[in-house]
Homo-oligomer: A and B are copies of this chain.
C-alpha cells in the first residue's frame, strides 16, 4: 500500500489508506479517541479505540508514525475526513514532550525560548506557513525575472575588500590572510550586466552592524537585481513594480492555504505605484501633516515614512509608495546623480505600509565617473581596481535593487520582529541554532 498525503484523502473515501507523519495531537476520551497525524500537506484525524493506541502507549506528541485505516467523510473533522479501523505503527518514538506546545493555535513561548528551540518550533503550522511563504517569495521573484530574460548568477561571498564603504564587514581568516564576507553582490551584479545585460541573485549577505533592533539581522537573504540599457531610475522602478506584483501574484496562486492560515491581508498595489521626489515628500509632510523637521533634511525619519505611507493609502489606495531622488550624500558612491540637480540622486526607496522595503537606483556606468566618485569620498582606489575594469571596457546605463527577503515577509505578515520571518536568525546575541 502506498502512502497518501493529508491533502489527497478526499479522493480515497471508503478505501483503506496508509498515512505517515507526526503525532500532532492525541485526545483520549476512553471508548473513542482522536489521534491527529500531521504531514507536509496538513492534518488527518484517526478515530481509535484504546486497543488501537497500544503501540504508542507512553509515547509523546511528535512521535513519527504510520496509520492504516478506512477513509470516512466527516464534515466536522479537521480537513473533512477521518480514518476508522486503524492500525497504528511507530516509525520513530518520542519520549520527551516538546519545549512548548506545537499543536495549539498559537505558539505560547517567549521569543528567546522560541528561537532557542526553532529546530522544533518551525513544525508549528503557523510558523511552517511563514517559511513556506518565504520559499514562495523566492519562486515568484525568479519566475518574474526569468520571464523577462534575466540570468541567474551566484557570486562569491568571500571578497578581498569591502564592497560598500569599508565599515561593518565581517573578517574571515582565509588561509592566514584577512578577507571579508560580502555585504552585497553589488559590484558583481553590475559586472555581470556587462555579460548578460540582465541578472539576478538570491543569496546570503552579511552585515556586521552592531545594533540590535526588531528590523535588523546580521545575515539575511537578499533578492538582488541589476540590468542594463535603462533610461534612468524610473526604468528600474517600473521593473521593481512588476517584480513585487509578480511575487504577490505567485503567492496568491500557489500559496493560498498558507495565506489563509495566517489571515494575510494582501497589499493594495496601485498601478503605477505613486512616487514622490524626496523634496516633494518633505513639502507634503510640512504642508499637510504639520511636520516641522522635514524640509531641507538629507533623509526621512521613520515617522515621516509612516505618514507618507498613510498619504499613499488615502490618496492613491496604495500600500506602496516610491520616494525618489535622495541626496547623493546619503547614497553609496556608485549611485548616479540626477543630471539636472547633481546634489540629488537617481535613486529610490520603495516604502511598504510606511516602512522602507527596497532600495535601488541607477548606477554610474563610466569608468572616469567611478574614479572621480571614489576619490571624492576619499576611498582608496586599489581594492576597487578589479571591479572598475568592467567599466573601463564598456558598460551601458544600468541600475537595480535589492529586496530583503525576510523583511518582505515580516512586513507582508505584519510580524513585529524580523527574527520570526527568518529560518535561523543571526544577531549580535545569537548564532545558534
Q: Which of B96, B139, B146 contacts A392 (CB 8 A)?
A: B96
Question: Cα distance A94–B390 when bound, in Å?
Answer: 11
A395 within 8 A of B: yes
Question: Cα distance A92–B64 when bound, in Å?
Answer: 63
A158 touching B393, Cβ below 8 Å: no
Given the complex, which residues of B lie within 8 Å of A96, measured CB to CB?
392-393
Q: When each residue 139-182 of chain A gets 1 if its CB lies under 8 Å from chain B and 0 otherwise, what string results?
A: 10010001001011111111110000000001111110101010
Q: When each residue 190-216 of chain A gets 1 if its CB lies under 8 Å from chain B and 0 otherwise, what string results?
A: 011011111000111010101000000
A198 touching B40, Cβ below 8 Å: yes
**Distance between A339 CB and nearest chain B CB, rounded to angstroms:** 15
Question: Cα distance A193–B149 when bound, in Å?
Answer: 33
Given the complex, which residues of B lie within 8 Å of A424, measured CB to CB?
155-156, 188
B158 touching A219, Cβ below 8 Å: yes
A423 within 8 A of B: yes
Question: Cα distance A322–B91 when bound, in Å?
Answer: 28
Interface-lining segment among A76-84, A114-122, A237-245, A345-353: A114-122
Range class of the A interface residue count: 35 or more
A393 touching B172, Cβ below 8 Å: no
A175 touching B208, Cβ below 8 Å: yes
Interface-lining segment among A262-270, A282-290, A425-433: A425-433
Question: Cα distance A229–B22 when bound, in Å?
Answer: 11
A256 within 8 A of B: no
B366 touching A157, Cβ below 8 Å: no
User: Nearest CB to that of A203 among chain B residues?
Assistant: B203
With A152-B139, A208-B175, A394-B62 as contacts: A196 and B128 at CB distance below 8 Å: yes
Given the complex, which residues of B lie within 8 Å of A192, measured CB to CB?
122, 423
With A423-B154, A431-B160 as contacts: A389 and B135 at CB distance below 8 Å: no
Given A117-B389, A175-B428, output 13 extra A-B contacts at Cβ < 8 Å: A22-B194, A23-B394, A119-B390, A120-B194, A122-B191, A122-B195, A132-B196, A135-B152, A156-B426, A172-B173, A203-B204, A386-B432, A386-B433
A selection of 18 A-B contacts at a CB cut-off of 8 Å is A20-B229, A23-B394, A40-B196, A63-B394, A64-B396, A91-B397, A119-B191, A119-B387, A119-B390, A120-B390, A132-B151, A154-B221, A155-B424, A156-B424, A157-B219, A158-B218, A160-B432, A172-B173
